[in-house]
Structure 1
Amino acid sequence: MARTAGTGFPGLDKVLCNLMIGDNVVWQVDSVDDYRRFAVPFVEESLAQKRRVIYIRFATHEPIIPDRPDVERHTMNAAEGFETFTSRIHNIIKDAGIGAYYVFDCLSELQDPWATDLMIGNFFKATCPYLYELDTIAYFGILRDSHSHETVAKIRDTTQLLLDLHHFEGSYYIHPVKVWNRHSPTMFLPHKKEGDNFNAVTSSVDCSRLFEHISANTATLTQSSIDYFDKLFLDAQELLENPSAASEQIRETRQKLCEIMIGRESRILKLAVEYFSLEQLLTIKSRLIGSGYIGGKAAGMLLAQNILLRSDDFAWSEYIEPHDSYYIGSDVFYTYIVDNGCWKLRMDQKTPEGYFKLAAALREELLNGRFPNSVRDSFQQMMDSFGQSPIIVRSSSLLEDSFGNAFAGKYESVFLVNQGSPEERFAAFEAAVKYIYASTMSDNALSYRKRRGLDQEDEQMAILVQRVSGSYRGDFFFPDMAGVGISYNTFVWKPHLDPKAGMLRLVTGLGTRAVDRVEDDYPRIIALDDPLLRPQADIEDIRKFSQRKVDILDFQTNTHRTIKANSLLHRCPELNIDMMAEHDLEAEKMLRERNIKPQTSYVLTFKKLLSETQFCALMQRMLKTIEKVYNYPVDMEFTVNFNGPKSFRVNLVQCRPLQAKGIAANVKIPESLEKDKILLETTGSSMGGSISQKIDKIIYIHPAKFIGLDNSEKYTLAREIGRVNRRLDRSDSVNMLMGPGRWGTTTPSLGVPVSFSEINNTSVLVEMAYEGSNLMPELSFGTHFFQDLVETGIFYLALFPKAEGVTFNRQRLLSEPNIINEILGEQSRFGDIIHVIDCTKNRLNFMSDVVSQRAVCFFN
Structure 2
Amino acid sequence: MACAWPRRKRRFVHKDKREGAGMISTGDKGLDQVITGLQLGDNVVWQMDSIDDYRGVVLPFVKKSCEEKKRVVYIRFANHKPLLKSSKNVVTYRLDASEGFESFSAQINRIIRKEGEGVYYVFDCLSDLLFAWSNDLMIGNFFKITCPFLFELHTIAYFSILRHRHSFMTVARIRDTTQLLVDVYHHKNNYYIHPLKVWNRYSPTMFLPHIRKGGRFVPIASSGDTARLFSSVFKSGERSVKQKLDYWDRLFMKAEDLCSRAGVSRAKREQLAGQISRLIISRDEKILRLAEDYLTLEDFLTIRSRMIGTGFIGGKSVGMLVARNILLKEKTLQAEKFFEPHDSFYVGSDVFYTYIVENGWWKELMAQRTKDGYFRLARGLRDKLSGGVFPEEIKEQFRRIIDYFGQSPIIVRSSSLLEDSYGNVFAGKYESVFLVNQGTPEERLAAFLGAVHRVYASTMSEDALAYRLKRGLDKVDEQMALLVQRVSGAFHKGYFFPDVAGVGISYNTFVWNKSMDPEAGMLRLVLGLGTRAVNRVEGDYPRIAALDEPLLKAHAGAGDARKFSQHDVDVLHIKENAFQTVSLDDLLGKKIDVHLDLIGTQDHEAQGADGGQEPRWIITFDRLLSQNGFRQKMQKLLKALEKAYGYPVDIEFTVNFKERGEFQLNLLQCRPMLTKGLGSRVVIPDKIAEEAVVFASSGHFMGGNISLAIDRIIYVDPQAYCAIESQSGKYDIARAIGDINRQVSDKEKCAAILLGPGRWGTSTPSLGVPVSFAEIDNMSVLGELAFSGNNVMPELSYGTHFFQDLVESGIFYLSLYPDNQGVYINHNILDAQSKTLSEYFPQYKKYEHVIRIFDVKDKGVRLAADIMTQKVMCYFSETEPQKG
Match of 1:48 in 2: 67
Match of 1:706 in 2: 721
1:276 to 295, 318, 328: 295
Match of 2:352 in 1: 333
Alpha-carbon distance, 1:442 to partner: 1.0
Say whether 1:652 aligns with 2:685.
no
Match of 2:845 in 1: 828
Deviations 1:213-272 (A, max 9, x none): 122123557622211112111111111222221111111112111111111111111011
Deviations 1:342-393 (A, max 9, x none): 1111111111111112112222222222222222221111211111110000
Deviations 1:79-131 (A, max 9, x none): 11111111111111110001101011111111112111111111111111110
Say whether 1:177 aligns with 2:193.
no
Say whether 1:746 aligns with 2:763.
yes
Match of 1:773 in 2: 790
1:80 to 96, 99, 103: 99
2:455 to 433, 436, 448: 436
Query: Hey, what's the Cα distance between the residues in 2 that align with 1:279 and 1:351?
Result: 42
Match of 1:424 in 2: 443
Match of 1:99 in 2: 118
Amino acid at match of 2:387: N
Amino acid at match of 1:75: R
Query: Hey, what's the Cα distance between the residues in 2 that align with 1:553 and 1:769?
Result: 33
Deviations 1:178-223 (A, max 9, x none): 1112211111111111122111111223212211212212355762
2:736 to 716, 720, 724: 720
Describe how 1:274-353 pairs up with structure 2 within 5 A. Answer: 274-353=293-372
Query: Hey, what's the Cα distance between the residues in 2 that align with 1:86 and 1:417?
Result: 39
2:682 to 646, 668, 678: 668
Deviations 1:136-192 (A, max 9, x none): 110111001111112111111111111011112222111111111221111111111
2:799 to 782, 794, 812: 782
Say whether 1:110 aligns with 2:129.
yes
Query: Hey, what's the Cα distance between the residues in 2 that align with 1:245 and 1:22?
Result: 52
Amino acid at match of 1:576: H
Say whether 1:506 aligns with 2:525.
yes
Match of 2:484 in 1: 465
Query: Hey, what's the Cα distance between the residues in 2 that align with 1:88 and 1:578?
Result: 61
Amino acid at match of 2:822: G
Match of 1:806 in 2: 823
Amino acid at match of 1:657: P
Say whether 1:61 aligns with 2:80.
yes
Query: Hey, what's the Cα distance between the residues in 1 that align with 2:154 and 2:571?
Result: 57
Amino acid at match of 1:515: V
Q: Which piece of structure 1 moves more, 807-816 or 349-358?
A: 807-816
Contact 1:686 1:797 in 2 (8 A): yes
Deviations 1:649-702 (A, max 9, x none): 111101101133x21421422443323233222232112222221111111122
Q: Which piece of structure 1 moves more, 233-242 or 484-493?
A: 233-242
Match of 1:217 in 2: 236
Query: Hey, what's the Cα distance between the residues in 2 that align with 1:304 and 1:255?
Result: 18
1:678 to 651, 672, 693: 693
Match of 2:23 in 1: 4
Q: Which piece of structure 1 moves more, 755-764 or 116-125?
A: 755-764
Which secondary structure state, in structure 1, belongs to the residue aligned with residue 790 of structure 2? coil
Say whether 1:552 aligns with 2:571.
yes
Which secondary structure state, in structure 1, belongs to the residue aligned with residue 73 of structure 2? strand
Alpha-carbon distance, 1:709 to partner: 1.9
Match of 2:882 in 1: none
Query: Hey, what's the Cα distance between the residues in 2 that align with 1:254 and 1:683?
Result: 53
Match of 1:384 in 2: 403
Amino acid at match of 1:686: F
Match of 2:5 in 1: none
Describe how 1:571-610 pairs up with structure 2 within 5 A. Answer: 571-592=590-611, 599-610=614-625
Alpha-carbon distance, 1:816 to partner: 5.2
Amino acid at match of 1:663: G
Query: Hey, what's the Cα distance between the residues in 2 that align with 1:841 and 1:142?
Result: 66
Query: Hey, what's the Cα distance between the residues in 1 that align with 2:516 and 2:445?
Result: 49
- Residues 307 and 74 (structure 1 numbering): CA distance in 2 closer, same or farther, change over 3 Å? same
Q: Which piece of structure 1 moves more, 696-705 or 128-137?
A: 696-705
Deviations 1:696-726 (A, max 9, x none): 1111122222222214232222222223333
Query: Normalised by the size of structure 2, how large is the TM-score?
Result: 0.94
Alpha-carbon distance, 1:304 to partner: 0.7
Amino acid at match of 2:520: A
Number of residue equivalences: 855
Which secondary structure state, in structure 2, belongs to the residue aligned with residue 681 of structure 1? strand
Say whether 1:363 aligns with 2:382.
yes
Which secondary structure state, in structure 2, belongs to the residue aligned with residue 26 of structure 1? strand
Alpha-carbon distance, 1:535 to partner: 1.4
Match of 1:856 in 2: 873
Amino acid at match of 1:778: E
Query: Hey, what's the Cα distance between the residues in 2 that align with 1:15 and 1:343?
Result: 35
2:809 to 777, 792, 797: 792
Alpha-carbon distance, 1:600 to partner: 3.5
Contact 2:31 2:216 in 1 (8 A): yes
Amino acid at match of 1:839: V
- Residues 826 and 382 (structure 1 numbering): CA distance in 2 closer, same or farther, change over 3 Å? closer
Match of 2:881 in 1: none
Contact 1:819 1:838 in 2 (8 A): no
- Residues 84 and 826 (structure 1 numbering): CA distance in 2 closer, same or farther, change over 3 Å? closer
Query: Hey, what's the Cα distance between the residues in 2 that align with 1:722 and 1:279?
Result: 50
Query: Hey, what's the Cα distance between the residues in 2 that align with 1:276 and 1:471?
Result: 30
Query: Hey, what's the Cα distance between the residues in 1 that align with 2:224 and 2:848?
Result: 94
Amino acid at match of 2:668: V
Q: Which piece of structure 1 moves more, 431-440 or 10-19?
A: 10-19
Q: Which piece of structure 1 moves more, 292-301 or 185-194?
A: 185-194
Contact 2:492 2:592 in 1 (8 A): no
In structure 2, list runs of 5 or more residues that go unmatched.
Answer: 1-16, 878-884
Match of 1:264 in 2: 283
Contact 1:490 1:686 in 2 (8 A): no
Which secondary structure state, in structure 1, belongs to the residue aligned with residue 795 of structure 2? coil
Match of 2:746 in 1: 730
Alpha-carbon distance, 1:837 to partner: 1.4
Say whether 1:232 aligns with 2:251.
yes
Alpha-carbon distance, 1:825 to partner: 4.9
- Residues 168 and 687 (structure 1 numbering): CA distance in 2 closer, same or farther, change over 3 Å? same
Query: Hey, what's the Cα distance between the residues in 2 that align with 1:361 and 1:159?
Result: 30
Q: Which piece of structure 1 moves more, 374-383 or 465-474?
A: 374-383
What is the CA RMSD across the aligned residues, in angstroms? Answer: 1.7
Q: Which piece of structure 1 moves more, 317-326 or 839-848?
A: 839-848
Contact 1:730 1:763 in 2 (8 A): no
Match of 1:838 in 2: 855
Contact 1:569 1:577 in 2 (8 A): no
Query: Hey, what's the Cα distance between the residues in 2 that align with 1:819 and 1:729?
Result: 20
Query: Hey, what's the Cα distance between the residues in 2 that align with 1:850 and 1:657?
Result: 23
Q: Which piece of structure 1 moves more, 392-401 or 490-499?
A: 490-499
Q: Which piece of structure 1 moves more, 764-773 or 739-748?
A: 764-773
Query: Normalised by the size of structure 1, how large is the TM-score?
Result: 0.97
Alpha-carbon distance, 1:539 to partner: 11
